[in-house]
């Protein structure tokens, strides 16, 4: 499981990072809309390829990525990108 890190920016905005990278958590939680079968991409891991949501329970999103396999994403820290043009 990936380690989560905390970082405070110059303007006192708090950001959270997963897998050693930082991303501001969006105000509106779009991850809560992800259902099994939805196609997604990780915003910072292009090499993982296209992923398909397997489950979304309590903000823990299980995704099966083309080149990474099954990964559990903590939706509080990573905003997955929904793919609609496939």
For the segment 25-29, the average pLDDT, to the nearest whole number, is 54
What's the angle, vertex CA 25, arms to CA 48 and CA 31, rounded to 5? Answer: 60
Which DSSP state fits 19? T
For the segment 46-61, the average pLDDT, to the nearest whole number, is 95
pTM above 0.75, yes or no: no
For the segment 23-51, the average pLDDT, to the nearest whole number, is 84
Q: So what's the pLDDT on residue 84?
A: 86
Q: How far apart are CA 5 and CA 28, in angstroms?
A: 21
pLDDT band at 86 (very low <50, low <70, confident <90, very high): low
CB burial class (10 A; 0-12, 13-18, 19+) of residue 63?
buried
- Count Cβ neighbours within 10 Å for each residue of 16-42 and write b for 16 or more, e otherwise: bbbeeeeeeeeeeeebeebeeebbbbb
CATH no., domain 25-86: 2.30.30
What's the angle, vertex CA 85, arms to CA 69 and CA 27, rounded to 5? Answer: 75
For the segment 20-29, the average pLDDT, to the nearest whole number, is 51
């Amino acid at each position: 499981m990936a380690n989560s890190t905390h970082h405070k920016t110059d303007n006192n905005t708090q950001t959270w990072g997963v897998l050693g990278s930082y991303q501001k958590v969006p105000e509106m939680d779009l991850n809560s809309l992800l259902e099994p079968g939805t196609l997604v991409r990780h915003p910072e891991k292009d090499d993982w390829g296209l992923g398909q949501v397997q489950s979304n329970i309590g903000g823990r999103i299980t995704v099966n990525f083309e080149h990474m396999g099954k990964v559990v994403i903590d939706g509080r820290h990573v905003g997955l990108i929904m793919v609609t043009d496939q």
